[in-house]
């Protein structure tokens, strides 16, 4: 890691990563309105649970051992939320 990365705290990194994913998905949907639901699904199903679990790991609520399982449960839960709420 460079010295610049060491100065940023973990919550800032998580927020920046989520914003980067949002920007990438937005750019991919420019001029392609049919891809907007897919981009929303990727963000809701993948990015939000990943960021939440990383934040919980940073806070010490979840250990490294259970983070993978919690991400999988988050993916499944958010997929159900997306399916029933946004379809």
For 27-61, how does the pLDDT look when each residue is reduced to its tens digit (9 = 90+)? 999 999 999 999 999 999 999 999 999 999 999 99
Q: 3-state SS of the chain: helix, strand, coil percent to 5?
A: 85, 0, 15
Mean pLDDT of 60-83: 94
58 backbone φψ class: left, alpha, beta (φ>0; ψ -120 to 50) = alpha
- Rounded Cα distance between 58 and 77, Å, is 21
């Amino acid at each position: 890691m460079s010295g610049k990365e060491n100065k940023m705290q973990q919550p800032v990194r998580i927020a920046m990563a989520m914003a980067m994913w949002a920007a990438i998905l937005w750019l991919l949907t420019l001029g392609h309105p049919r891809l907007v639901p897919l981009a929303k699904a990727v963000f809701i199903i993948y990015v939000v649970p990943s960021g939440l679990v990383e934040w919980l790991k940073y806070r010490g609520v979840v250990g490294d051992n259970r983070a993978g399982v919690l991400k999988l449960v988050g993916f499944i839960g958010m997929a159900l939320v997306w399916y029933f709420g946004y379809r």
